[in-house]
Structure 1
Amino acid sequence: MTGRLWSVKPPIMPIGIVATLVIVSGCRLAGIPGGVSVSPPGESLPISGGNEVIGAEIEGALDTSTEDSTASEEVLPDASMDEEQILEIATVLPIGGPPGLAEFAQLIAEGVEIAALELSEPLLDVRITSLDDQGDPALTGSLIGDLGDSSIRGVIGFLEDSSLEIAGNARQIALPLVSPTARSASRAGVGVYSLEGPDPVAAEEMARYAFEYGYMRIAVLHSQSSESVQEANAFEEMSRALGLPVVGRYAYQVGATSFGEEIIGAQNALRAAEIAALGLEEDDTLDVELLEPVALFVPIPSEDVEFVAPQVVHYGLDTLAIDILGTSGWTDSQVLETVDLRHTTGVVATASVGHAEDRNTSIQFREAYERHFQRSLISGVPALGYDTALLLIEGLKGGAESPEEIRIAIEGLHEIEGAAGVYSLVDGRILRLTEVVYIDEGILLPVG
């Protein structure tokens, strides 16, 4: 993941030793109760093939007796050994890495564990092996290389761009890799996916909104990162196709914290175009209500919003009737919680459809998480881990064998509802279903 990870401080509980969990009752997000084997987060352990169980009893969900587990398997006449599909997946996460990264990784691992438990069925046994790359990209590559001769069908993890790229290039076979956070999937090879990354479809959606709203012209401010550039390109191409003029593009360096030159450049370009359109002189003045509707499109990653948004206000774009448009970086939950509300209020941007926590899958995920871990879910990060695993499992459970068959199966997924969004594969990318929203005091209000 480029930039920094947002700091999260929920209580972390150790999960225990390698185990096979036999689900006998409890809430399900999909399917019906079935067996699942899980190697807990934080330990580089092989997949469990026995009937061991975690020592801590989860009331109403887990049977903690080895004998009872065996008995449960014996009384399932419909799940014959010949018919059962064992789906083995690995996680490669920096559980032993720097504290902030490790804490984030632990939460992702918890979401993956819930997915393995909840998505297993009588004839589908999902098993997770947890591998720790300690935040070391070189170790990431080594771990992935070693999986070439294993029975692992896919891998989840790789929180940072460098880790995902190295993992993609280290594969001996086209093992599918899915990251919840990295933005470098397009540079990591075929069969590599991420929940994050450029969303040209959302950028095109914003161009259509700008045209329908009646903006006369647009300027674009974006990062020089590949992802931001791709969204800016998609917006500009759609705008031109619709006949909406883009009067200038202004790109800042990755990691920059001062954007005055770019913001002033965009402001001047919009003003110069308006002066020319209205036949005015440079020193002529107009009441703000007489100005033509114009906007600045800012498709930037969420970690840049806290630096860009205050400077947009500082340079007075709102006083010049220049509206701000954006993509989903502006509607990220951490942005809404941490950036001063006056710096984001009034922005129109895309947001993941189903961002509200009252969706069925979100509620069911929360219930499953809290029952399994016996504590409240206070972070949105585990939902990302769940959704990452959900997409991989959905793509693999159909029985595809060859790398090409697996790629086709995964890239054929459409409108899969997860705990944090609704996902489809478009041109080999995981994209969330989005809608255009207006940000008002941290609240996302659907437009139209």
Structure 2
Amino acid sequence: MYLLSPNLRCLLIATLALPLCFALAGCPSKGGGDEAGDPILIGEISSITGKEGAFGQSAHRGIVLAIEEANARGGVLGGRSLRLLTEDNQSKAGGSGTAARKLISRNKVVAILGEVVSSRSLEIASIAQLTHTPMISPASTAESVTQAGDYVFRVCFLDSFQGTVMGKFAYEMLGLRRVAILSSVSSAYSVGLAKHFKETFVGLGGTIAVEQKFAEGDKDFKAQLTAIRASGIDAIYVPAYYTETALISKQARELGLTIPLMGGDGWGSPELLEIGGAAVEGIYYSTHYSPESTAAQVVEFVSKYRERWGGETPDAFAALGYDAALLLIDSLERAGTTESAALRDAIAATRDLLGATGRTAIDENGNASKAATIMTVKNGRFTYVGEVASEPSQ
């Protein structure tokens, strides 16, 4: 491979990026020339269909609820309504970048909500930053997402936080000492969670007896689980999404592994219970909220969501979608304009926004300071275990 010098490489990148910036018509500030009575266009990019479709659908319903509530109150900025333009990336790589270009260049949206999966949020983030389009991810927890630049935000905690939480929970609360890790080699989300869980668990005195890998889309995990079974471990940490986790749980039980499985917020979908059945009984995972909480804002959110969506109970992705839209709506009001730089500054200045998942404060890196909730599956339903309000010490 021929390597360019650092200076020449930077010049080439800048030269290639400039036409894209002009093509997307997003480098200058946007939104300042809108007619006062026109609806404000908000883009949403999510996995409405495909293998993470349950996540995307939940987040979408939460976003719709927040926007409908704002419009019912009379809109924002002196009576302007909000109009949501949703693009489905079908849970596929590449689709989010294409959708972002369309929403920004053709539809002239003032901001983008999405994506729920970290790897697909990264596709949007680079374009959002280049075009100065504020982006808020409901649920992408990989640290690299907001590192794309100062126009990229999230309302969820980071992988470093929930990986640390579960490592501490495994060692101190469950009393585990020997654990296996089964993670994806092709998911930024999985890699990040595995790294931080391992660092915390080993730092506290635990042992990672074996690490096994799989690729996104795999359906047969018996070879990895057989190797894990031979290692004499107390539990398996599986930082994956609900589709793989349900299959891994079933195949683990078929091989006689009755030990607990642990994971992250990617497990928090009713599809996990439907696919996994009895095999997911007794699992533990970290997530962003519990509909069982008695906090006033949660009770109100659950009631409104059930009324809007036919009695369905909102999961964590629905709550995060709602809070992402709430953050954008609140920031539009505080900015007093749709102009992109002012809107970005208002989002960044958020310090105490009360939503379905608690109080959100945006830090200097665009990340949200949030609590983590621990859930289990008991008698075929998700059950609240406890909450970690601040990052545990290592």
Both proteins in one fold, TM over 0.5: yes
Which position in structure 1 is the counterpart of 2:235?
295
With over 3 angstroms needed to count, the CA separation of the structure-2 counterparts of 1:92 and 1:176, relative to structure 1, is: same
Question: Residues 148-227 of structure 1: matches in 2 within 5 Å?
Answer: 153-158=110-115, 164-171=121-128, 172-180=130-138, 186-187=144-145, 189-190=148-149, 191-194=151-154, 199-213=159-173, 214-224=175-185, 225-227=187-189
Question: Residues 333-372 of structure 1: matches in 2 within 5 Å?
Answer: 333-336=270-273, 338-356=274-292, 359-365=295-301
- CA deviations on 1:117-169 (whole Å, 9 max, x unpaired) are 3777897656424335575653531331357xx6x653324567676444433
| Other structure's SS at 1:131 match | strand
| Other structure's SS at 1:175 match | coil
With over 3 angstroms needed to count, the CA separation of the structure-2 counterparts of 1:146 and 1:387, relative to structure 1, is: same
- Kept in 2, the 8 Å contact 1:217–1:295? The answer is yes
Q: What is the deviation of 1:440? A: 1.1
The letter for the 1-side match of 2:383 is L
| Pairing 1:327–2:264 present | yes
Structure ranking higher in helix proportion: 2
- Out of 351, 370, 378, the position equivalent to 2:312 is 378
Which position in structure 2 is the counterpart of 1:74?
none
Return structure 1 stretches of 4+ with deviation > 6 angstroms: 94-98, 100-103, 118-124, 159-163, 400-405
Of 220-229 and 355-364, deviating more is 355-364
Q: What is the deviation of 1:256? A: 0.7
Can you give the 5+ residue segments of structure 1 that lack an aligned partner in the other structure?
1-45, 52-86, 272-293
Q: 1:230, 1:94 → 2: CA distance?
A: 21
Q: 2:178, 2:352 → 1: CA distance?
A: 34
- Out of 374, 383, 392, the position equivalent to 1:444 is 383
Q: 1:161, 1:332 → 2: CA distance?
A: 17
Q: What is the deviation of 1:246? A: 1.6
| Other structure's SS at 2:383 match | strand
- CA deviations on 1:377-402 (whole Å, 9 max, x unpaired) are 53637655422211223445443999
**TM-score, normalised with respect to structure 2:** 0.67
The letter for the 2-side match of 1:410 is I
Q: 1:335, 1:117 → 2: CA distance?
A: 34
Which position in structure 1 is the counterpart of 2:85?
131
With over 3 angstroms needed to count, the CA separation of the structure-2 counterparts of 1:261 and 1:212, relative to structure 1, is: same
Count of residue correspondences: 336
- CA deviations on 1:357-395 (whole Å, 9 max, x unpaired) are 754324434665688x7x745363765542221122344
Which position in structure 2 is the counterpart of 1:309?
249
With over 3 angstroms needed to count, the CA separation of the structure-2 counterparts of 1:299 and 1:117, relative to structure 1, is: same
- Kept in 2, the 8 Å contact 1:251–1:262? The answer is yes
- Kept in 1, the 8 Å contact 2:156–2:288? The answer is no
| Other structure's SS at 1:186 match | coil
Q: What is the deviation of 1:331? A: 3.7
The letter for the 1-side match of 2:247 is F
Which position in structure 2 is the counterpart of 1:236?
198
- Kept in 2, the 8 Å contact 1:221–1:298? The answer is yes
Q: What is the deviation of 1:334? A: 3.6
With over 3 angstroms needed to count, the CA separation of the structure-2 counterparts of 1:115 and 1:250, relative to structure 1, is: farther
With over 3 angstroms needed to count, the CA separation of the structure-2 counterparts of 1:254 and 1:139, relative to structure 1, is: closer
- Kept in 2, the 8 Å contact 1:203–1:231? The answer is yes
- Kept in 2, the 8 Å contact 1:219–1:270? The answer is no
- CA deviations on 1:329-359 (whole Å, 9 max, x unpaired) are 33434424x1344212122222333432754
Of 179-188 and 209-218, deviating more is 179-188
With over 3 angstroms needed to count, the CA separation of the structure-2 counterparts of 1:445 and 1:129, relative to structure 1, is: closer
Q: What is the deviation of 1:237? A: 0.9
With over 3 angstroms needed to count, the CA separation of the structure-2 counterparts of 1:310 and 1:295, relative to structure 1, is: same
With over 3 angstroms needed to count, the CA separation of the structure-2 counterparts of 1:315 and 1:193, relative to structure 1, is: farther
The letter for the 1-side match of 2:180 is A
The letter for the 2-side match of 1:223 is S
- Kept in 1, the 8 Å contact 2:37–2:80? The answer is no
**Which of the pair has more CA radius of gyration?**
1
| Pairing 1:434–2:372 present | yes
- Kept in 2, the 8 Å contact 1:267–1:317? The answer is yes
With over 3 angstroms needed to count, the CA separation of the structure-2 counterparts of 1:96 and 1:180, relative to structure 1, is: closer
- Kept in 1, the 8 Å contact 2:116–2:138? The answer is yes
| Other structure's SS at 1:258 match | coil
Q: What is the deviation of 1:447? A: 5.2
Q: 1:216, 1:160 → 2: CA distance?
A: 31
| Other structure's SS at 1:250 match | strand
- Kept in 2, the 8 Å contact 1:221–1:251? The answer is yes
Identity %: 20
The letter for the 2-side match of 1:91 is G
With over 3 angstroms needed to count, the CA separation of the structure-2 counterparts of 1:232 and 1:109, relative to structure 1, is: closer
With over 3 angstroms needed to count, the CA separation of the structure-2 counterparts of 1:96 and 1:432, relative to structure 1, is: closer
The letter for the 1-side match of 2:135 is L
- CA deviations on 1:244-284 (whole Å, 9 max, x unpaired) are 2222211111111111121122222336xxxxxxxxxxxxx
| Other structure's SS at 2:67 match | helix
The letter for the 2-side match of 1:419 is A
- CA deviations on 1:179-226 (whole Å, 9 max, x unpaired) are 446677835822324557862211211111222143222211112211
Larger RCO: 1 or 2 (CA < 8 Å, sep 6+): 2
Q: 1:347, 1:134 → 2: CA distance?
A: 31
The letter for the 1-side match of 2:284 is V
